[in-house]
């Protein structure tokens, strides 16, 4: 008998008296909004950041292979950094 009483407390009417039905137009909680931002599309800043390290390695490898000076290799790395920053900034979306 006691089990039946507990199951009756889970009937729809008694549950709706305790918990209001969810509103379809209610905005998402903060945690779900943060989770949705995690899966955003790849932007120019992310692309420039992902390509930066491989590009530096290639420039330094080619500089060592062709036996150019340290100043020229570091200058090429600086120009590469400047190019990636300009690439990332020029593609900023307008809101």
Domains of the chain, residue spans? 2-90
* CA-based nearest residue to 77, from 94, 90, 63: 63
pTM of the model: 0.55
For residues 15 and 9, what is the distance between their CA atoms, to the nearest angstrom?
7
Q: What is the pLDDT of residue 10?
A: 61
Cα dihedral: 47, 51, 53, 54 (round 10): 160
H-only helix segments in the chain: 2-8, 12-18, 30-38, 44-66, 70-90
pLDDT digits (tens, 9 = 90+) for 34-88: 777 677 777 888 899 999 999 999 999 999 999 898 899 999 999 999 999 999 9
């Amino acid at each position: 008998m006691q089990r039946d009483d507990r199951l009756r407390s889970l009937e729809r009417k008694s549950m709706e008296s305790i918990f209001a039905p969810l509103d379809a137009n209610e905005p998402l909680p903060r945690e779900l909004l943060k989770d949705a931002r995690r899966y955003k599309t790849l932007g120019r800043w992310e692309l420039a950041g992902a390509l930066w390290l491989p590009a530096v390695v290639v420039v330094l490898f080619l500089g060592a292979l062709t036996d150019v000076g340290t100043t020229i290799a570091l200058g090429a790395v600086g120009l590469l950094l400047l190019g990636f920053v300009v690439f990332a900034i020029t593609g900023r979306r307008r809101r």
